[in-house]
Amino acid sequence: MVLIRSLVAMLFVLPWFVGHALAQEYRLKTGDVLQIEVLEDSTLNRTAIVLPGGQISLPLIGSVRAGGRTLAEVQADVATQLSGSFAAAPTVYVTLSALAERLPAGEPPTIDVFIVGAANAPGRIEMSPRSTLLQAIAQAGGLSPFAAKKRIQLRRTDKQGNEKTYRLNFEAIEMGEGAGGAMQLVDGDVIIVPQRKLFE
């Protein structure tokens, strides 16, 4: 009876050990989604996507190389870089939240999106296909204090050369009350961030 119980327990535990070992050996790729947790400061906890250049972006330390590295390597690097902001070395956990989606045949590995106007780092942004508006704005360093958040435009030109304009209220999106933040971008999309008017 004891032997049977031991065998049953092994059947449940063994897959966990195998999966855990594979996760630790896995080399991260563009599009993988990571969960970052810092026990000493929950405001630093976030989900990060591995960008086409292999980087993830985190507050306080900026870009961290993730592509081609294991979770343990990224975790150690994040902890080391954050240590200057804490009295003692912080406790950091980096886990794999989702694997990058396999791209359909013929889909490019990256797309170009352009941000114009009152963003902190406007210009051309190289992103993974099916990245969202929120991710694009985050990659551009967020919006400047002078941005008219309620009047953001997304301009998209189809293959026939026809342009369509989507008007978005980013202030509502930030508060979880507006739609559009999860809108997936396509190659050539232009995000226009106007400056606030005097009493806006």
What is d(CA 62, CA 133) in angstroms, rounded to the nearest whole number? 20
Please report where in the chains the tokens 């009295």 appear, as a residue.
87
pLDDT over 50 at 14, yes or no = no
What is the domain extent for residue 159? Answer: 111-193
pLDDT band for 107, please (50, 70, 90 cuts): low
Same domain, 8 and 73: yes
Contact 179, 166 (CB under 8 A): no
Compute how many other C-beta atoms are within 10 angstroms of the C-beta atom of residue 32. Answer: 22
How far is it, in rounded angstroms, from Cα 153 to Cα 6?
A: 61
* Number of structural domains found in the chain: 2
Q: pLDDT value at position 39?
A: 92
Q: What is the mean pLDDT of residues 117-130?
A: 86
* Section 23-28 average pLDDT: 78
Task: Give 40-85 pLDDT, tens digit per residue.
Answer: 998 888 888 887 778 888 888 888 999 899 999 999 999 999 998 9
Residue located via tokens 């296909």: 129
Residue 106 is predicted with a pLDDT of 62
Do 89 and 126 reside in the same domain of the chain?
no
CATH number assigned to the domain comprising residue 185: 3.10.560.10
* Pair 132, 182: CB distance under 8 Å: yes
Residue 17 has pLDDT above 50, yes or no: no
Quickly count helices (H) and strands (E) in the chain: 4, 10
Q: What's 27-39 look like in SS3?
A: CCCCCCEEEEEEC
